[in-house]
Amino acid sequence: MTEPRRDGMTALILAAGKGTRMKSALPKVLHRIAGDPLILHVVATVERLGCERAIAIVGHGADEVRAFLPEWVQTAEQREQLGTAHAILQAQDWLKGFEGDVLILSGDVPLLSLETIAAMQGRHRAEGAALTVLTFAPEDPARYGRVVRDASGRIARIVEYKDASETERAIREVNAGVYLANWPLLHQALLGVGNDNAQGEYYLPDAVTALLAAGHPVAAHCTDDATEVAGVNTRLELVSLAALYRERIARRWLEAGATIEDPATTWIGPRVTLDEDTIVEPGCLLYGRTRVGRHSRIGAHSQLIDAEIGSDVTILSSYLSESSVGDGTTVGPFAHLRNGASLAEQVRIGNFVEVKGSSFAKGAKASHLSYVGDATIGAKANIGAGTITCNYDGERKHRTVVGDRTFIGSNNTLVAPVTIGSDAYTAAGSTITDDVPDGALAFGRARQAVKPGWVLARKGITP
């Protein structure tokens, strides 16, 4: 286990719950908003916040959850669901010798903003608190834990709904489940937390009482935005939060200088980056680690997943995944780039062209109706309409290489492995099975034969 910096801030993400009310075999934190599981929304917030490290406490479906986490997020497993305090203690081995603060977040709360976390940090520092809890005051506090304050207005304890008296249940200020705490002090407090409560669980909020009893200051920061601390417990709540997320992420990018023409129909994931003067037309889905450069236009109904888009690029109603597009390139309409497709500058990929695991050098083009798979296409090469690279022999994939300034005629079949040199031509309708030298013309088609009068004779008609 690598050790964290002793003075940094570590994020602890609670992600062990099953989410019974979701009525799903999928762990709750893996249900998606804007293409990303809920937990990746939280991870994206942690990454933007600049935390020194992140540790996810997993439990139900632990292996499934781990599979979605980036490598830099460590995991600790809560094998028995014994409460939130017990969950936090599962990370203690990762935090040996750590003396900084831990930020405790829930893996099913996707809308928490950096601004609210910063305000919470400000309160934590100003009051020299051992622990600061985030609170809010909804119109209906429902079954949230109540925040009980003393006569001076300072937090005295947090009472879970099932353990609260009627007087305590009347309190509107409730616990949002977000904490910032000095790890050594919190760790010591958690070791003393018991489970004498209605659910027989070890509650993280009981650390408030333990820290106060030990003479350590505890603070509370109340946010006026109840929606950003809302969790997901049902599919209805998932849809409701997704709509709020869509509006907020669009506003964020509009304020940053991008144009989102119709926020109501545009979905942008939490890990997406848009540069200034990007234009996103209606109906687009931008997911994963997609990045779009300056002055680029993402045309209506395009879908980009883990795509790297340069500047001055035009994408017209196309699907791109795990692909990169260089400056000044045009893609589409109705093109499909996938599995590591890489386009350099000023490339043209036209309508109904699929590019898979292939690279196009500067100025190359495939304008229509082609499949280019596992190929290297040289600078200013032209791939004619209807061209197919035959890259799979039923057992293995093979590569096609097309040289610079080479012209591939329409309706060609390029049977890999095959190399066509630079400044070469292949005739329309050819099947190319052998390498073609630089500057050569290759034919690979059957000789045409014409039988005059054949149809008339077949039909018994005299000319």
User: CA of 455: how far to CAs of 446, 447, 448, 449, 460, in Å?
Assistant: 21, 20, 17, 14, 9
pLDDT for res 220: 96
Active site residue 368: yes
Answer whether residue 1 shows pLDDT above 60: no
Please pick, among 60, 336, 368, 398, the residue that the annotation labels catalytic: 368
The answer to whether the CB of 111 falls within 8 A of the CB of 244 is yes
pLDDT digits over 381-416, tens only? 999 999 999 999 999 999 999 999 999 999 999 999
User: What's the token pair of residue 252?
Assistant: 């964020």
How far, in Å, CA of 423 to CA of 106, rounded? 59
Q: What is the mean pLDDT of residues 36-52?
A: 95
Q: Domain ranges for the chain, please list them.
A: 9-229, 257-442
Q: Treating both helix axes as pointing N-terminal to C-terminal, what angle do 114-126 and 38-49 enclose, rounded to 10 degrees? A: 50
Answer whether residue 2 shows pLDDT above 60: no
- Give the CA-trace dihedral at 201, 204, 206, 209, to 10 degrees: 170
How far, in Å, CA of 68 to CA of 163, rounded? 36
User: What's the token pair of residue 79?
Assistant: 């094998």
- Give the CA-trace dihedral at 70, 75, 77, 78, to 10 degrees: -100
pLDDT digits over 282-323, tens only? 999 999 999 999 999 999 999 999 999 999 999 999 999 999
Residue 197 CB-density burial (10 A; 0-12 exposed, 13-18 middle, 19+ buried): middle
pLDDT digits over 151-192, tens only? 999 999 999 999 999 999 999 999 999 999 999 999 999 999
CB atoms near residue 50 (< 10 Å)? 9
How far, in Å, CA of 404 to CA of 345, rounded? 14
H or E element: which one contains 122? Answer: helix 114-126
Tell the CATH topology of 9-229. Spore Coat Polysaccharide Biosynthesis Protein SpsA; Chain A (3.90.550)
Answer whether residue 89 shows pLDDT above 90: yes
> Which CATH superfamily groups domain 257-442?
Hexapeptide repeat proteins (2.160.10.10)
Answer whether residue 428 shows pLDDT above 80: yes
pLDDT for res 198: 82
Residue 76: strand pairing partners:
57
H or E element: which one contains 132? Answer: strand 131-136
pLDDT for res 7: 57
How far, in Å, CA of 148 to CA of 160, rounded? 11
The answer to whether the CB of 320 falls within 8 A of the CB of 288 is no
